Amino acid sequence: MFDAIVIGSGMSGGMAAKELCELGLKTLVLERGRKIEHGASYNDWMQPWDLPTGGGVPEEVLEKDYPIQRQCYAVNTATQQYWVKDSQHPYETPENKPFSWIRGYHLGGRSIMWGRQTYRYSEMDFSANARDGHGVDWPIRYADMAPWYDKVETFIGVSGENDGLAQLPDGKFLPVMPMTDGEKLFKTAVEKNFAGRKVIMGRCAHLTQPQPHHIELGRNPCQYRSLCERGCSFGAYHSSLSSSLPAATRTGNLTLVTDAIVHSIITDPKTGKATGVRVIDQNTKKGTTYEAKVVFLCASTIGSAQVLLQSANEANPRGLANSSDQVGRNLMDHVYGPSVMAVMDGPETFHRGRRPNGIYIPRYRNLDGQTEPYLRGYGYQGRVMRQGWHGVAMGAPGVGAELKERIRHPGAWMVGLSGFGEMLPNPENRVTLSATRKDEWGLPLLNIHCEHGENDKELGRRILEDAKAMVTAAGGRIIKETGKLHPPGLGIHEMGTARMGHDPKTSVLNKHNQAHDVPNLFVTDGAAMTSSGCQNPSLTYMAMSARAANYASELLKAGTI
C-alpha cells in the first residue's frame, strides 16, 4: 500500500511526485512507456556527421510508422527514440477532421522534447469564461495560483525579464537571454508603430545562472547548443528526468515503475473512493494492481480522459468522475499555423551560439473588455537571426575556395513569426472510446473529434494579418506566409477534457483539482484546464500539480480522504 500513486511521469506527474515525496508520502509513479536515463539515454552528443542519414528519417519509415508524429518539427534520427510509432498506437478521427496527437511514451514523457516556453496565465485568463459566457467559470483566480507559480519557477529555473504587463504576469526569473541586434530593431519598430504591443524575450525554462538547488541536482548552465529536443546532458533545461524526479528520488519516498499501461482506477463501491490502479505490463501484457490512499492522474490531457473513461463500473457507467458527462469533452489546443517569414535589413553584426529561445509578443487584443469582433486573443513566438553558413550555402553556386570564403560570412537577417491563439471550449470537441476496435493490450481505441470553430478561424485570419503588418513595419520583405490552420493537436498544447469548475453538474474537478465525485482522486495535467488562454500552458500544469499535492497531503494528514 502506497500513500499516493501518480499516473504519468511527465511535466505534471513529475512535479506532483516531487511535492508528494517531499511532503513525506510514499509515492509510486506509473509510466506506460520504457525507462530512459537522464544523460545516458540522450543523443545530444552527436555531431551532424554522426547522425544516420544526415538526421533525416527515411521517407518510407515516416510514412509507415510516423505519419502523425512526423508533423512535429523535432522528429529526426537523433530524437526518433522518443516519438511513438503511430502504427503501434492508432486512434480514430472522423473523416476529414484530423487531430494530430503528438506523443512520447517513455519516462519523463514530453518534458524531454517540450519547447520550454514558460508563461503564467493572468487574471484575464482565469476570468475569461465568466466574462463572455463560453465554457464554465474557473473556480480559481490568479491570486490562488501566484504563490505556486513562484514556487515552480524558482525550482525549475526560468530565464526572463519582468515586463510589467497585466496580461502576462511577472515571475521569479533568472537572467534573461539577450536579444540579437536584429530583434532589437524589430522590437523598436513594432513598439513605435503599434501602440500597446510589446516585443520581449521569451521566458524559457533554461538555466542562465544556476542556483544552489539546481547545482545540487547536477544541473548546469545552458550551453547555447539548441539541441534541446534530444534531451540535455547538462540538465540546462527543466524536465522530469533532470530535476523533478531526481528531487523526488533523493527523499527516499519514490518508487518508479515503467512499462505500466494503466487499465483503470479501482474504486470502493461502498465509499466511492479510489483504492488503487490496475496496470498492464507493456511487454508481457500481464496485469498488476497497486493500492494507495490517493491517486494523481497526470497521463496527459487525452490520456487522462482515456483512463477515466476506461474506469467505468456499475456505479459509474459513463466513466469514473463523470456524473457531469464532461469527461472527454471540451478538448482544446491552441489556434496554430498562421506564420510569416521575411528578409529584414539590419546591422553588420552577428550573434554567437545557437540560442534555444526566441522573442515573444504577448497578447494585445481584447485586453480591456471586448473591443474586437471576435473573442479572446493571441500572441506570437519568433526570432530575428542572421543566416548561418548552411543557409548561405544552401543551393548557392560555386565550388572550392571561392565558395568556402563566401560562406564564411553571415547571410541576411531573417525574421519569423508564428501565432498562438486561444481556442474556445466546446463540449462537442471530445474524446470517446471506440465501441469496436482495441489496441494490442486489449484497451479500446480512442476516438478524437475536434475541429476549429468560427471564432478560432477568425483568430487565425487576424494572426496572419497582424504578423504581416508588424514584419512590414520593421522593413521586412515577406518571402513566405501561410494562413492555414494546422489540425488541432499540432500546437501540442491539448487541454480541457476533465475541466475544473464550481458545479459538479457541469465540471469534473473542484478548485483544488480534486474530482467532485471521487474525493481522493486528483487530475493535474492539461485535462484540468477550463479555458486555454494563448500562452504555453506547461507552467500552469506544474503549478496546479504542486498546489494539489500540498492540498492532498493536508487532507491525508487530517484523515478526511
What average pLDDT score do residues 78-98 get? 97
Question: What's at 386, amino acid-wise?
Answer: R
Q: What is the pLDDT of residue 390?
A: 67
- Say what the pTM is: 0.97
DSSP string, 446-482: EEEE----HHHHHHHHHHHHHHHHHHHHTT-EEEEEE
Q: How far apart are CA 27 and CA 403, in angstroms?
A: 60
Percent of the chain with pLDDT over 70: 99
Res. 530: pLDDT tops 70:
yes
- Give me the residue label for grid cell 524589430: 186
Q: What is the pLDDT of residue 402?
A: 82
What average pLDDT score do residues 452-467 get? 98
Q: Would you state the cell numbers that stand for residue 47, as one nine-digit string?
A: 555531431
Res. 88: pLDDT tops 90:
yes
Torsion of CA 47, 49, 50, 51, to 10 degrees: 100
Percent of the chain with pLDDT over 90: 92
Res. 400: pLDDT tops 90:
no
Average pLDDT of the chain to the nearest whole number: 96
Q: What is the pLDDT of residue 388?
A: 77
The residues that bridge with 266 in the sheet, in sequence order, are: 276
Indicate the SS3 state at residue 523. Answer: strand
Phi, psi of 22 (to 5 degrees): -70, -20
Q: Taking CA 170 as the corner, what is the angle to CA 169 and CA 172, rounded to the nearest 5 degrees?
A: 135
Element (H, E) at 249: helix 245-249
Q: How far apart are CA 215 and CA 223, in angstroms?
A: 15
Q: How far apart are CA 163 and CA 160, in angstroms?
A: 9
DSSP 8-state secondary structure symbol assigned to residue 92: B
DSSP string, 288-336: EEEEEEEEEE-S-HHHHHHHHHHT--SS-TT-TT-TTS-TT-S-B--EE
